[in-house]
Amino acid sequence: MLAGAMTALITPFRDGRLDDARLKQQVERQIKGGVSGVVPVGTTGESPTVSVEEHGRVIEQTVKIAAGRVKVIAGTGANATSEAIELHRHAKSVGADACLSVNPYYNKPSQEGLFRHFMTLSDAVDLPIVLYNIPGRTGITMSAATVARLHKSGNFVAIKEATGSLDLASEIRTMCDITILSGDDSLTLPLMSVGATGVISVLSNLLPEVVSDMVARFRKADIVGAEALHRKYFQLTRSLFFDGNPAGIKCAMQLAGLDTGEMRLPIVEVSEGTRTTIAGHLKTLGIIQ
């Protein structure tokens, strides 16, 4: 079972190119910070803007750097089933532990289309699949019934829930025993209260120790301690998404001296107002001076 804090890694760029040295530093920092897994080239990793070659290289390098010390769940989703199959095959070939496969975006398939898409992936590549429900990005929500149908039929080990709906997570829990992972940092504790086992986190790029500690406290029934951490970092967490992801987290990482802050169009830097807000929270929390 996947559990704990897993980091949706940013993809580091320098002068428009992948920054391999920075990627190594970031993965090592995550491992040192106590996360249970890393997720390269997902939404936070700017997967829509990297080339196929870059996408594969980030996954391969992450697997090599992690060297079995934490799980690597490779972002391999695509809106074309054929492309997703190729990404899944690559992740399998380089040794990823599982893959994160988002609902096909833009196409807005039916529930039957979603089922056939994911079953085709499961049948084509023997690699555990983490489903990814994020209608704000894809325009489609996978229903609890479809999740349960997939879990019964194929190699689907978890679902990353980023719908913002506790009811949907609860409905999934009533229909099957698939592992649920939070896909929204601000909702991690609420989702864990209805059965989620952890989070695929954006915030942990910056604060792996904090997110790992919060999730571990909740799993050990230290609800008071977990909620205190949730409350302490809540305002910062919310501010990271004011101008979209990964613009906010890359701004915070840059302010903390942990990344260049570079992104690729059409993602651009946060507004001055948001940057000031993020910087203010970082100062209040003692993360920067």
Q: Which residues are catalytic?
A: 132, 160
Supply the DSSP string of 1-64, one letter for each residue.
---EEEEEPPPPEETTEE-HHHHHHHHHHHHHTT-SEEETTSTTTTGGGS-HHHHHHHHHHHHH
| Separation between Cα atoms, residue 188 and residue 199, nearest integer Å | 6
Could you give the CA distance from residue 4 to residue 71 in angstroms, rounded to a whole number?
Answer: 11
SS3 for 142?
coil
Nearby residues of 240 by Cβ (< 8 Å), 6 or more positions away = 185, 202, 203, 248, 249, 251, 252, 278
